[in-house]
Amino acid sequence: MRAIRVASAALLGLTALTFTAPSAFAGDGDDHNITPFGFSVQPSTITAGGRLSLLLKRDGGCNGTVRISSGVFDTVTIPSGRSSATATIDRDARQGAVHEVTFVCDGVSGHTNITIGTGTGTGTGTGRSDDLSPLQVPVQQGVRAGVGGSVGGFDVKEIGLGAALVGGSVGVAWYMSRRCGASDDA
């Protein structure tokens, strides 16, 4: 009878652990845009007629020409060996609209969004052609390796639910073992 009690307690503990695991893997949906190369646009909010910097970090995952397209600028290519280009946003782009920018390299694509802000011009100046600053590539920083899930912080609801499930399964296992023990003694 002792083996049945131990097996049922182990099964309840495993069940509680199984129900807490999906919350560890649940994300906000941003991981569906993983590519072997890095990419970004600057600025992410730009005015109609402004110049958008298209930045690429190849990291060995993109060897060919990169094709970048969106509904608010003409298709741009970054040739092999280069890591940046610029695009001019259409002057008739609607303010407040969000547009997808697609980077395609070696058959792999990644997407990011830009927002059309208010005004006209470069997004930071008066809109005159002499306000256009040269492309400034940001300083690349290393990844935040080794911090695991602690980057996003703690979710008190998930921790509480996990603790309640584990505590409940331990409590039920203890109750069942005490109840079965009392019936064995009778």
The domains of the chain, with CATH numbers, are 32-131 (2.60.40.1930)
Q: Which of the four pLDDT bands, split at 50, 70 and 90, describes residue 21? A: low
- Residue 130's alpha-carbon distances to 77, 120, 126, 136, in angstroms, are 25, 14, 9, 16
How is residue 94 written in tokens? 């609607």
Choice between 43 and 154, residue whose per-residue pLDDT is larger: 43
The one-letter amino acid code at 13 reads: G
Report pTM. 0.49
Contacts of 47 (CB under 8 A, 6+ apart): 89, 116, 117, 118, 119, 120, 121, 122, 123, 127
* Predicted local distance difference test score (pLDDT) of residue 1: 62
* Predicted local distance difference test score (pLDDT) of residue 142: 59
* Predicted local distance difference test score (pLDDT) of residue 70: 92
Mean pLDDT (whole number) for 31-60: 82
Choice between 14 and 159, residue whose per-residue pLDDT is larger: 159
Choice between 159 and 181, residue whose per-residue pLDDT is larger: 159
pLDDT digits (tens, 9 = 90+) for 112-169: 999 998 765 444 433 333 333 444 445 555 566 665 555 566 678 888 999 999 999 9
Residues, the chain: 186
Please provide the average confidence, as pLDDT, over all residues in the chain: 75
Burial 23-35 (b: 16+ CB within 10 A, else e): eeeeeeeeeeeeb
Give the C-alpha separation, 103 to 110, whole Å: 5
Mean pLDDT (whole number) for 166-185: 81
Predicted confidence (pLDDT) at residue 40 exceeds the cutoff of 90: no
Choice between 2 and 138, residue whose per-residue pLDDT is larger: 2
How is residue 184 written in tokens? 């064995």
* Predicted local distance difference test score (pLDDT) of residue 164: 94
Choice between 152 and 180, residue whose per-residue pLDDT is larger: 180
